[in-house]
Structure 1
Amino acid sequence: MSTTEQPNELVSDLNDVIAEMAARLVEVPGVRAVALGGSRARGTHTPESDWDLGLYYRGEVDTAALAALAEEFAGKPVEVNGPGSWGSWVNGGAWLFVDGVQVDWLLRDLDRVERVWADCREGRIEVGTQAGHPLGFWSPAYPGEVALCRVLADPSGELTALRTATEEYPRALRRALADAAWEADFLVDMARKSAKRGDALHVSLCLSRAYGVLAQSLHAHHGTWCLNEKGALPAAAALPDTPRDFADRVASTLRALDAAALDDASRLVAEVRAVLKEA
């Protein structure tokens, strides 16, 4: 299926360079589809926002061909990092500047994305260590990226079919992520012990992860995708039934890191868990 044959994909607002780039990328051996992600896909971008392109591949991807294409668009050599170069979840890619605008190429193994989607439908999740993701890379981000993307080029229709499938948030995943909120309680208890020893680093890490877990759980409760930590707190605070002043209370406890802050953190966790039990 070509880009022009996708009636549900809005591509009219993409500039010609990005459209041409997507069409050329799917000609690279291994690349099966290209999708626009990030704020530009969701319509929340500003004129200064980067362009995030997901390069979905199967098997081996020809990084030399990608580098040659990147140099053609950027007008100078561009380093392309192959699968595994950036970690186990964010596979690799490249950063380009085209006409003064940053364009990020992010490699995604389509076989793995499909396996993760199958796990998510059964309520199985993973959280992996990944550079750039201080609270870990949560596996549901893979199908979430697909669900929220705009498919730009997909000759075989594989990514388009997967995007259609991910439009329905799996109930098993919703339940699994809501249940995961137990860890937030545990983390606050750990932070309370470390606060008595003056261990500010451990306290802050525990609370940060606790709130990251709650953000994931709240999004899942409403069947909405939470892709990473950036913007997760205000987005969770804006969801229906989220405790009042959620974002402000989180920020307050992260600034204080004292006994009173931990008491409020404990109350906040309890309030969120009460919401989640209503599912």
Structure 2
Amino acid sequence: MDRLTDIANRLVSIGGVVGVCLGGSRARGTHSPDSDYDLGLYYRPPLDTAALRLLAAELTGRAVEVTEPGGWGPWVDGGAWLRVDDLQVYWIYRDLNRVHRIWQECQVGQFEVGTQAGHPLGVYSHAYVGELALGLVLADPSQELVALQQETRCYPQPLRSALIANARWAVPFTLSGARKGAARGDAFYVAGSLFRVVGLLVQALHAQAGCWVLNEKGAVQATEGLPNAPAHFAARAHALFGTPGTTPDSLGSVLDDAEALASEVWDRLAS
């Protein structure tokens, strides 16, 4: 951790970088020995990427590709992959003005879902807020990150209501469409619909519990531990993707199971 703190302190001396926060499993204490170290670089434009490249080369002993903002897509933004000593360290840009804006939207029940490579369900905008809420601030000279983190640890009721309401209409609508695909033996369409349905249920259950969802990785398993989750939620959700088959009957049977799981979720959310 001392090495990471040293890197963070050097990063905040670079133009545009406001603070640095350790995120991911390392921050939450759910990491494995080979987990990466994700450092969120919270910045305001203009970001001095030339200085970042010089620091990256110094830390790694070689030239490192450091992107411009937006270089990794509209939501992951940009950054760099570094091997520092024996640590795999990722720099991940986060526009701090954008984080503040999304937090304001969360407080009035607004969110959006963006397309991003590596995120098959899409990036839910409030993940930006959750990253900071669950992260470990390593360097923050102005104390702006710490102040915002304190605010974001209280899950907004309007966002909770919006995510649950979204799931309540989107899940049955998606399953209804999937029924038509099943009748045609369209396993591809049904599988995509099932993935979306489970993702919506995960978001709704986390919202009800006041817990931030950061991405799809491990999200189903994490839902299992929520107090309002149906019994054996993870096993039942994963079973939907086992071998649904390609015939109308087999696909229809899987959709029956998905509807039963969703029905139990609605019961839990109403209680």
Same-fold call, TM cutoff 0.5: yes
Deviating runs (4+, > 6 A) in structure 1? none
SS of equivalent to 1:130: coil
| Alignment match of 1:141 (pick from 127, 147, 156) | 127
Trace 1:90-169 onto structure 2 (pairs within 5 A).
90-169=76-155
SS of equivalent residue, structure 2 residue 120: strand
- Structure 1 residue aligned with 2:270, among 250, 253, 277? 277
Corresponding residue of 1:84:
70
- Deviation at 1:47? 2.3
Aligned residue number for residue 192 of structure 2: 205
Which of 242, 266, 272 is the equivalent residue of 2:259?
Answer: 266
Unaligned runs of 5+ in 2: 245-250
**Corresponding letter in the other structure for 1:215:** V
Cα separation, 2, equivalents of 1:168 and 1:192: 39
1:245 alignment partner in structure 2: 232
**Aligned residue pairs: how many?**
264
Deviation at 1:194, TM superposition (A): 0.7
In 2, Cα distance between equivalents of 1:44 and 1:246: 20
Q: Which residue of 1 aligns with 2:222?
A: 235
Which amino acid letter does the alignment assign opposite residue 36 of structure 1? L
Distance in 1 (alpha carbons) for counterparts of 2:155 and 2:15: 32
Q: Quick one: distance in 2 between partners of 1:31 and 1:130?
A: 24
SS at match of 1:61: coil
Measure, in 2, the Cα distance between the counterparts of 1:29 and 1:193: 55
2:29 to 43, 48, 52: 43
Mapped partners of 2:58, 2:205: distance in 1 = 44
Within the candidate set 208, 214, 225, 2:212 is matched to 225
In structure 2, the partner of 1:187 is 174
Could you tell me which runs of 5 or more consecutive residues in structure 1 were left unpaired when the two chains were aligned. Answer: 1-13
Give the stretch that moved more between structures: 164-173 or 107-116: 164-173
Structure 1 vs Structure 2: percent identity of aligned residues?
Answer: 54
1:55 aligned to 2:38? no
What's the CA shift for 1:84?
Answer: 1.1
Q: How many angstroms does 1:90 deviate by?
A: 1.0
Match of 1:3 in 2: none
- Which amino acid is the alignment partner of residue 216 of structure 1? Q
Aligned alpha-carbon RMSD (Å): 1.0
> SS in structure 1 opposite 2:20?
strand
